[in-house]
Chains A and B, each alone.
Chain A
Amino acid sequence: MTADPLLRVEGLQVHFPIKRGVFVDRTVGHVRAVDGVDLAVERGSTYGLVGESGCGKSTLGRAVLRLVEPTAGQVWFDGTDVASLSGEPLRQMRRRMQMVFQDPLGSLDPRQDVESLLSEPLHAHGLGGGKAGIAERVRTLLDAVGLPSAALRRYPHEFSGGQRQRIGIARAVALEPDLLIADEPVSALDVSVQAQVLNLLEELQERLGLTYLVIAHDLAVVRHISDVVGVMYLGSLVEQAPADDLYAQPLHPYTRALMSAVPVPDPVVEESRERILLAGDLPSPADPPSGCRFHTRCPWRQETRCDDEVPVLRELGTGHLVSCHWAEEIRDGVLTPRSAEEVAATMGVSIRATGAENPESDALVQGLDAPIERR
């Protein structure tokens, strides 16, 4: 890796307390949404974060921006620890890191027209150089994201989903940030429109020299746009590698299963490709399994180490990090996978649905992807 990266996350933890009780809020446990993640995003590159709903990827993105308070750990942005900032310095810092949200309609104020939406961040940070300057800047922005200037007087509901996402992107790049965090930027859009937005993001990166942290559940999308990809499972990073390496040779069993589960729009490939079905559901993040967190569903689980020893991220090959005790053996085919039924049988009833123990964590398995914030 070259000189200092733009964003460095060290040992980041975000735990949400689970509260019970009618009169007194007793804390009965914690949902460990993000549990010790280290990552670094190089300047001008794109880091893609993938994982299923409930793995903590969105919470991680929000914690970087301090939209949720990290429980522990540091977020270094261009040499400054964001986690220790507050008040005006934090606000100034946020100008340089912006976010694009998943639901374009939900993240745009329905009572503001596009001009007001796009000029608000400029006003807030005193940029753009007065009325005329801001008007000029807003027009340039619209042009950059491919919307007609007639859009200025219109309201979010008058646009289609793809156009709304363009407005969201325009708002995010209005302040000329260095880092753009895109949380599921295309998952709410139709297929034909998804590609338009992806192309726009790539084009903007090239033109403005942006650094992206893209959070998505769609592996194909992440691979398309990212330089480095990190795979998350239950709050921690299980594998990280340059996009090409990861897809050419996934080393962690979870990554392999995840990639084999993505359908390919080609019947010939569909009929021949390897499928690894996982047993059961994601375990509850409030009560994660001991040892390797994936061992309850892992087709390659071994009798020793997996159940009680937490694997650490180690480097196998250039920049290819993986947290699995048996990564080399699995790669070389020494160990063979077992079927999902066998895994389920050996693990018995310990594979509980996420929602079973505590209904609060229920949203995690529905693909709603919003972190559970209980105050």
Chain B
Amino acid sequence: MIIEDVPPDAVDRSGRPVLEVDELTVTFRRRGEQPMRAVDGVSFAVAPGETVGLVGESGCGKSVTSLAVMGLLPRRGVQVGGSVRLDGRELVGAPDRALRELRGADMAMVFQDPLSSLNPTVPIGTQVTEVLLEHRDLSRKDATAQATDLLDRVGIPDPARRLKEYPHQLSGGMRQRALIAMALACRPRLLIADEPTTALDVTIQAQILELLRELVVDSGTALVMITHDLGVVAGLCDRVHVMYSGKIIESADRHELFARPRQPYTGGLLASVPRLDGVRGAPLHPIRGSARDVIPWAEGCAFAPRCDHAQDDCLTEVAGSTVPLEYDGPGRELRCRHPLEYPRSPAGATAAGAAR
């Protein structure tokens, strides 16, 4: 099937954002250890029908951000600061009862591993109808009918039979579809997808991405897409926030970001992925070191030890001299003192990034 591209502006995007995250911080505390700040002042907003991507490598805090938004982090040992507003309602510090009512109804989440996020001992049908029974005044019969409808909508063949089956009887792609059906059961205003296709094969990934794209256009749901795959971002997201070590280091519209990455980290990421449409044998320019080689943000820029553009003022011993996230042209924000300049090829950005 050849899918025509969906017009990006099919849904009205005016009005206030569905989700506003303001200076969100998440700190993990353990006795006898230094507190660990996983998310360090992250701010972004998502409008209805908009898809926002949070991109970064493992350990950059993107998943913790999503868990904090959903209020799914444990209370004990975790300190959440800042503000998260869903349609103007403050979620940080809200009582569990209130969050419980919102989760599943107004905001929903799709997790990375579909097998471990479904209950293996309960049929798919019960798990999908549970959401409906909890949040909507429906009889069991109506809920089942609606669940059948939902499974059909996400492209599961023979939905009536599938409802009686257990998660292990479905394939990986089917499970992820079932999970998406559950998340969409109550037509949420906000959907957070945390690496929804990482565990799937490319052909199945293409099916799931197509499904998400259709859903956003049809229902005007605000979608937060968390991923490490720049290709997924390029096809799906309107706005992209690149995260590194708990902070957003660059935000831009996807066209801007991929055409002219300004943060050396973003440029390095793009230069280090082999591309299917590029020239074969073009050398890759990896970022040197690994995500472990960070310095505290308070001492300048956490990426400085791996950055080829780093200069003396990126690394200071003086506490409190964090590189700020600043305005960088219309619709762009950047946290960097020595960004990549254009015109020049982004591939040259980390040309000296030989393996350590």
Contacts known (A263-B231, A277-B1); A195 close to B272, Cβ less than 8 A: yes
B234 touches A275 (CB 8 A): no
CA distance A359 to B166 in the complex (A): 11
Q: Which of A190, A264, A268, A353 contacts B171 (CB 8 A)?
A: A353
Task: Please give, as numbers and ranges, the residues of chain B lying within 8 Å of A282 by CB-CB distance.
Answer: 171, 201
Contacts known (A191-B273, A223-B274); A353 close to B170, Cβ less than 8 A: yes
| Contact of B328 with A by CB under 8 A | no
Contacts known (A192-B268, A265-B258, A277-B206); A198 close to B284, Cβ less than 8 A: yes
Task: Please give, as numbers and ranges, the residues of chain A lying within 8 Å of B292 by CB-CB distance.
Answer: 160
CA distance A340 to B230 in the complex (A): 26
Proximity string of chain B (265-279) to chain A, C-beta cutoff 8 Å, 1 when within and 0 when not: 000111111111100
Task: Please give, as numbers and ranges, the residues of chain A lying within 8 Å of B81 by CB-CB distance.
Answer: none
| Contact of B199 with A by CB under 8 A | yes
Proximity string of chain A (192-219) to chain B, C-beta cutoff 8 Å, 1 when within and 0 when not: 1111101110000000000000000101
B277 touches A269 (CB 8 A): yes
Proximity string of chain B (249-273) to chain A, C-beta cutoff 8 Å, 1 when within and 0 when not: 0000011001100000000111111
A281 touches B173 (CB 8 A): yes
CA distance A199 to B203 in the complex (A): 27
| Contact of A337 with B by CB under 8 A | yes
B290 touches A367 (CB 8 A): no
B234 touches A192 (CB 8 A): no
| Contact of B32 with A by CB under 8 A | no
| Contact of B291 with A by CB under 8 A | yes
Contacts known (A269-B277, A275-B1); A199 close to B202, Cβ less than 8 A: no
| Contact of B228 with A by CB under 8 A | yes
| Contact of B125 with A by CB under 8 A | no
| Contact of A262 with B by CB under 8 A | yes
| Contact of A53 with B by CB under 8 A | yes
CA distance A101 to B326 in the complex (A): 43
Contacts known (A191-B273, A265-B230); A258 close to B1, Cβ less than 8 A: no
Q: Which of B275, B286, B291 contacts A264 (CB 8 A)?
A: B275
Task: Please give, as numbers and ranges, the residues of chain A lying within 8 Å of B275 by CB-CB distance.
Answer: 220, 264-266
A264 touches B355 (CB 8 A): no
Whole-angstrom distance from the CB of B30 to the nearest CB of chain A? 19
Report B1-46 residues with CB < 8 Å from chain A CB: 1-3, 5
- 24 A-B pairs with CB atoms under 8 Å apart are A191-B57, A191-B229, A191-B272, A192-B268, A192-B290, A195-B271, A196-B356, A199-B355, A221-B274, A223-B274, A261-B205, A263-B232, A264-B275, A265-B234, A265-B273, A266-B258, A266-B277, A267-B234, A269-B234, A270-B234, A271-B235, A277-B3, A362-B168, A365-B201
- Residue positions of A touching B, CB distance < 8 A: 52-53, 146, 160-163, 190-196, 198-200, 217, 219-221, 223-224, 243-244, 247, 257-278, 280-282, 299, 337-341, 344, 349, 351, 353-356, 359, 362, 365-367
- Residue positions of B touching A, CB distance < 8 A: 1-3, 5, 57-58, 115, 157-158, 165, 168-174, 199-207, 209-210, 228-235, 254-255, 258-259, 268-277, 280-281, 283-288, 290-292, 354-356
Known: A160-B292, A259-B276, A269-B234. 7 other contacts (CB 8 A): A190-B228, A263-B205, A265-B273, A277-B210, A281-B172, A281-B173, A367-B201
